[in-house]
Structure 1
């Protein structure tokens, strides 16, 4: 059995590729960076399509490539996100269907589920670009799922953690380890998360047992407060708990700072809670929690 994994050099894609190979699957990794497998393909999907021969004997396509949600550059154009997160996704799905691929698994985000509706236009305001473009891609894929003999499943991971964690979690972790993270106040919000290894096991389960046209949210089943995340990272870094903490009102004031800083502080304060009951009905049960950040399942 052969599978294509786009974004195969990334945080999630590399672990998914490893698990698929461990289970006996021949993986064709697609990335902007050349990798080590014989059939790996160097391709910038934002600009180019995969060649027809890449799909030879491929049973499943796992599409992870996309512009990330950590919008450190809010000036990056909306069209840039649409080009990869939407247009390239649609082209790849149509190519896959026409090549006879049986399963197309799209790795979206819980952020797509926070938009108001499928018909809502994608906002150019950088807070909404990521979720909006992912939602638009989902909408088009669900339409494709009704037109071709190819199973299309959508996976919406919660915030992903793990040994090589990226994005805002990595920033907090490095700030704590480096001793330059301010002592955060007690914050009692609720945020769903998932370990990268649990996530990729869920993705493989969805490929095997998921139903066509279905959307599956994946979490580890626990909702973390920012305080719990902060304290867990302190513990993992062998740092003592702070003797004092910033007053909460100070953080709330900085929340309204224009640009990325205010956006990141807002993330520390907001709720981001989701249910993974649908995939749990397939038998999925997460094995790891945030305290197992540096552990692996395979």
Structure 2
């Protein structure tokens, strides 16, 4: 059984992915939680690894936070970039793996909404600390893997769905559960999404091949479809929909009040602008068929 080192294996992604990986690999997790098998803060140290690994799945990273201070901005680079560099230094000491799989993000393409875009039709112009730190980590890994003869895969997932989803999807679930969620303009905006467990299904497909892939399902569900699915699972009524102009007024208030208010202009834009990407390259080259998010997402 191949040895797989998994960073970020005790978080949201790990909870959805590790049980599937355990069936085919000898999985070791490394990270900062007390559940990690190798305790290490990759942002601050080069850890001592006990052995050489066949595959590394590097999913640890900082996301879902809007930085307000220079220190908070720097944290993205410490965790996403320096964490990657320190991990590779540790691998250099024990012998580099056959395959390295990096979980990046579609945010590297910038804030302009996608229109079923491919890896070739978009350039890496993301300038938020999150996106820029991921771009720089990708660049480092491309150089490191070439120098060391490592098969590198960069997966750029869409919005991840699964049990315990964080970020906007988690907020939607919690809002509908507590009755504090309002749909906006009928929830017509489409979003590319990916079931988190699909990452596990992709590992054996890319381990010996490598490449850079957008990964998402083919349906691109609307907010309205997600809202209806979540409400049905929770036994709740579909959330009330408010017109865009009213949401815009509320967002302007949020811009002034700050994080104490649930909506601002940036969040409103994300909730009302469709943004879709194509996973055709991954489906064609890897013979991978993504799970349908609407059919598979269970709370």
Answering whether residue 108 of structure 2 is matched by residue 107 of structure 1, we say no
Alignment of 1:45-124 (within 5 A): 45-51=42-48, 53-54=49-50, 56-68=51-63, 70-72=64-66, 74-75=68-69, 77-97=72-92, 99-114=95-110, 117-118=123-124, 123=127
Cα pair distance change 1:80/1:183, threshold 3 Å = closer
TM-superposed CA distance for 1:45, in Å, is 0.9
Shift of 1:253: 3.5
After superposition, residues 123-272 of structure 1 pair within 5 angstroms as 123=127, 128-208=128-208, 210-211=209-210, 214-242=211-239, 245-256=241-252, 257-258=254-255, 259=258, 261-262=263-264, 263-272=266-275
Q: CA deviation at 1:72?
A: 4.9
1:94 positional shift: 4.2
Residues 129-179 of structure 1, C-alpha deviations (whole Å, 9 max, x = no match): 211211111122112232111111101111011122211111111111111
* Structure 1 residue corresponding to 2:290, chosen from 279, 286, 291: 286
Unaligned runs of 5+ in 1: none
Inter-CA distance 187–180: structure 2 relative to 1 (3 Å threshold): closer
Distance 2:27 2:40 in 1: 15
How many residue pairs match? The answer is 278
What TM-score do you get using the length of structure 2 for normalisation?
Answer: 0.84
Which consecutive aligned stretches of 4+ in structure 1 deviate over 6 angstroms post-superposition?
none
Task: Give the CA deviation at 1:41.
Answer: 0.5
- The answer to whether the Cα contact below 8 Å between 1:202 and 1:218 also exists between their aligned partners in 2 is no
The aligned counterpart of 1:17 is 18
CA shift in 2, pair 1:272/1:93, >3 Å: farther
Unaligned stretches of 5+ residues in structure 2: 112-121
Alignment CA distance shift 1:294-1:187 (3 Å): closer
Distance 2:20 2:231 in 1: 30
1:64-99: CA deviation from partner (whole Å, max 9, x where unpaired): 11112x115533522111011112212323432552
CA RMSD of aligned residues (A): 2.3
Whether 2:258 is the aligned partner of 1:273: answer no
| TM-score where L is the length of structure 1 | 0.85
